[in-house]
Amino acid sequence: MKHYTGLIERYRGRLPVSASTPVIALGEGNTPLIELKNLSRLLHFDARILVKFEGLNPTGSFKDRGMTMAVTKAVEAGSKAIICASTGNTSASAAAYAARAGITSFVLIPEGKIAFGKLSQAMMHGAVVIQIRGNFDDGMRLVQEVARDVPVTIVNSINPYRLQGQKTAAFEIIEELGDAPDFHALPVGNAGNITAHWIGYSEAAALATATAPDNMSFSDKRVFSSKRPMMLGYQASGSAPFMRGEMVTHPETVATAIRIGHPMSWTQAWKVREESSGWFGERSDEEILQVQKLLARHEGVFCEPASATSVAGVLRDLEEGRIPSGSTIVCTLTGHGLKDPDTAIAQSSRPVSVDATRQAIESVILSNMD
């Protein structure tokens, strides 16, 4: 088998790259699709839920799919610096790919509102980290203003190459399942990822009806689907502009990754909902954290709070019958739980402290055996 180097090589025929494009890659993509077998038994739902664990990308989130493309194209165009506003994951990814490419990255983050793991990544990869006394939406506005005057390439999802990279998650799912699922659920912030997935599913469905050109590579030919899924976008209640039907001025949620009141892909996401006959939903912070814990405890999958929003949404909609039993549902788990250790520790019971003796250890073991 050929050494896996990343999604640009794997889906070259489906992406805007040429033979001379200098690919900046870290082996992103190719993430596992894990069926929630234990939760199905525990919660008695009659559906197949699979999670696409994007936390296993090189910097621990789905952003790497878009960043490999955005930085590759920035370098191809001769750019020496990239810039983004971020709730954390985009900054971590931008910093890593800029380091790999040998260019400078500037990242604007909301002071005090980004998970520690993400901040440590941006710092370690050598980004110029600018903390702003404002939220993500303020940062996004400033990035757009600054990029008009200064020679920096914006690598937020308004950069169209980001969505091109991110659409490949849909291709991988189709390859693994043999077709598109009935439903695909994602946590929604800027709504770039839900838009990107819809592009991917739409391309695969369109190809199924077209004749495959002769010059298509093997993997291109495999990614055909007979249908497109219904797209479900879930938000945290305190930060849910798609549920309110308007922008939210002061978004608040424990899921800081999706603490966004002014989604950049607002129009596109409404179109996705309409074209796919899907819907938006919201879950409270308590429900989100509860499901994050369920996934960690019963499935061995540790995702960050924002990511659990997709599964929390699907579980409720299954329970209420909105999603029919027997459905195949893919939920994207967008980021790794290690990104936000503070939130994880705050909701877990404290470790027991004992003397370093065999007796003390045995007594803890015995009191915890069923």
Residues of the shown chain interacting with ligand F0G in the complex, contacts defined by CB under 6 A: 61, 63, 86-90, 157, 187-193, 257-258, 304, 306-307, 334-335
Rounded CA separation 173/133 (Å): 39
Closest approach of ligand F0G to the CB of residue 97, in Å: 14
Closest approach of ligand F0G to the CB of residue 88, in Å: 5
Burial 287-305 (b: 16+ CB within 10 A, else e): bbbbbbebbbeebebbbbb
Q: Which is nearer to ligand F0G, 31 or 193 (CB)?
A: 193
Q: Which is nearer to ligand F0G, 82 or 191 (CB)?
A: 191
Q: Which is nearer to ligand F0G, 61 or 68 (CB)?
A: 61
Closest approach of ligand F0G to the CB of residue 153, in Å: 16
Closest approach of ligand F0G to the CB of residue 353, in Å: 33
Q: Which of 139, 353, 330 is nearest to 232 (CA)?
A: 330
Closest approach of ligand F0G to the CB of residue 365, in Å: 36
Q: Which is nearer to ligand F0G, 52 or 63 (CB)?
A: 63
What are 238's two structure tokens? 């305190």
Closest approach of ligand F0G to the CB of residue 157, in Å: 6
Q: Which is nearer to ligand F0G, 31 or 307 (CB)?
A: 307
Angstrom distances, CA of residue 9 to CA of 168, 219, 369: 11, 10, 49
Q: Which is nearer to ligand F0G, 13 or 134 (CB)?
A: 134
Q: Which is nearer to ligand F0G, 57 or 225 (CB)?
A: 57
Q: Which is nearer to ligand F0G, 227 or 250 (CB)?
A: 250
Q: Which is nearer to ligand F0G, 196 or 204 (CB)?
A: 196
Closest approach of ligand F0G to the CB of residue 255, in Å: 8
Neighbours of 119 (CB within 10 A): 18
What are 224's two structure tokens? 């055909």
Closest approach of ligand F0G to the CB of residue 231, in Å: 12
Closest approach of ligand F0G to the CB of residue 197, in Å: 10
Phi, psi of 302 (to 5 degrees): -105, 105
Closest approach of ligand F0G to the CB of residue 212, in Å: 30
What are 363's two structure tokens? 């007594």
**Residue in the structure block whose two tokens are 């290690």:** 338
Q: Which is nearer to ligand F0G, 224 or 234 (CB)?
A: 234
